[in-house]
Amino acid sequence: MASHASAYTCRYRSSAPAGLAGTTIQGSSNATIPVPVQDTAETGQVNIIDLAAYIECKNDNPGTYTDHMDMQRASTVLSNNFDVRVKANGVEYTVPFSGSATVLHLPKGGSGSYAPIPLQIYYYMKEIPGERVAIKKGQVIGSIQAHKYSIPAGGAPTFTWTFTAANDTIVTSGGCAINDGNQIEINFGVMNQQQLSSTEDRRQVTSYIPYKCRSTSVNMGIKLSLVADQPTFSSDLVQTSNSAIGIKVMRGSDQLKPYSNTLHSTITQGVGGDNFTFSLLKQSGSTPAAGTFTGSATLIMSAD
């Protein structure tokens, strides 16, 4: 009873992946925890695991105990080509990490309310295209080993939280600006049902997308990947808010499919670019509902 009384309890916040909000995670037990993984940014910090956004903990008996969580180890599936860090309670460490770092301090006399876990694992993007890593939903992406102790109860159970990806994505260790860092806006305009086909690209928009590195000394082959949700009727298309319409992405005669393949291109003296054609396809046998629809995707650059 004393061990349970001095424990803390953790749970998923309302912003957690679908179906997990409010689910309890025992604060001093081994657990496998699904977390959303951010798409690769072009510059700066890319979050791999952000517990503060999705998990919170509370002291179960703040009238009697002060509870602590210290991190002993942290690791990810990413190679040494990635500049990976872990930030625990505002202090940054390199990954893989081995040592002792305070993560949580839930004081005696506190409110006993839930508080986010201040722990992030992330990496800094390098300024040239780098290693590409495809992450699949359910894949183990990292872990921390920690121990919990209470004052005055004592005791220090050691536990491991293993993190799995809650979504498919692609990350790279470095890259250059795509479209000058701006969103690529594709407007198909107004159309009628006769302009939509399940087999022919009747409605197309072509756009030149430039690539630019910070250094003009970058000369290399690159690979381009597409990260996007897919409609239920085709894994080759980008999903839109209209369930019967998808977006096809082409460069010349080559289709770029979400998560499925890569296209080759080049950077010369720090710059490059390609013409992409975007077209609309409808689900076979369907009559798509009228009205405005949207879709989104992320173009990812990596070294060839």
pLDDT of residue 192: 85
Q: Mean pLDDT across the stretch 224-240?
A: 97
Given a cut of 50, whether residue 63 has pLDDT beyond it is: yes
pLDDT of residue 1: 27
Domain that holds residue 222: 177-303
Q: What rounded mean pLDDT belongs to the chain?
A: 91
Instruction: Give percent of the chain above pLDDT 70.
Output: 94
Given a cut of 90, whether residue 203 has pLDDT beyond it is: no
Q: Are residues 105 and 167 in the same domain?
A: yes
pLDDT of residue 154: 63
pTM: 0.87
Q: Are residues 51 and 159 in the same domain?
A: yes
Q: Using 50, 70 and 90 to split pLDDT, how confident is the model at 3?
A: very low
Q: Are residues 182 and 208 in the same domain?
A: yes
Lowest mean pLDDT among 39-43, 68-72, 227-231: 39-43
Domain with residue 205: its CATH number is 2.60.40.1090
Q: Are residues 213 and 84 in the same domain?
A: no
Q: Are residues 21 and 39 in the same domain?
A: yes
How many domains would you assign to the chain? 2
Q: Are residues 156 and 235 in the same domain?
A: no
Q: Could you read off the pLDDT of 166-186 as tens digits, one per residue?
A: 999 999 999 999 999 899 999
Q: Are residues 168 and 189 in the same domain?
A: no
Per-residue H/E/C for the chain: CHHHHCCEEEEECCCCCCCCCCCEEECCCCEEEEECCCCCCCCCEEEEEEHHHHEEEEECCCCCCEEEEEEEEEEECCCCCCEEEEEECCEEEECCEEEEEEEEEECCCCCCCCEECCEEEEEECECCCCCEEEECCCCEEEEEEEEEEEECCECCCEEEEEEEECCCEEEECECCEEHHHCCCCCCCCCCCHHHCCCCCCCCEEEEEEEEECCCCCCCEEEEEEEECCCCCCCCCCEEECCCCEEEEEEECCEECCECCCCEEEEEECCEEEEEEEEEEEECCCCCCCCCCCCECCEEEEEEC
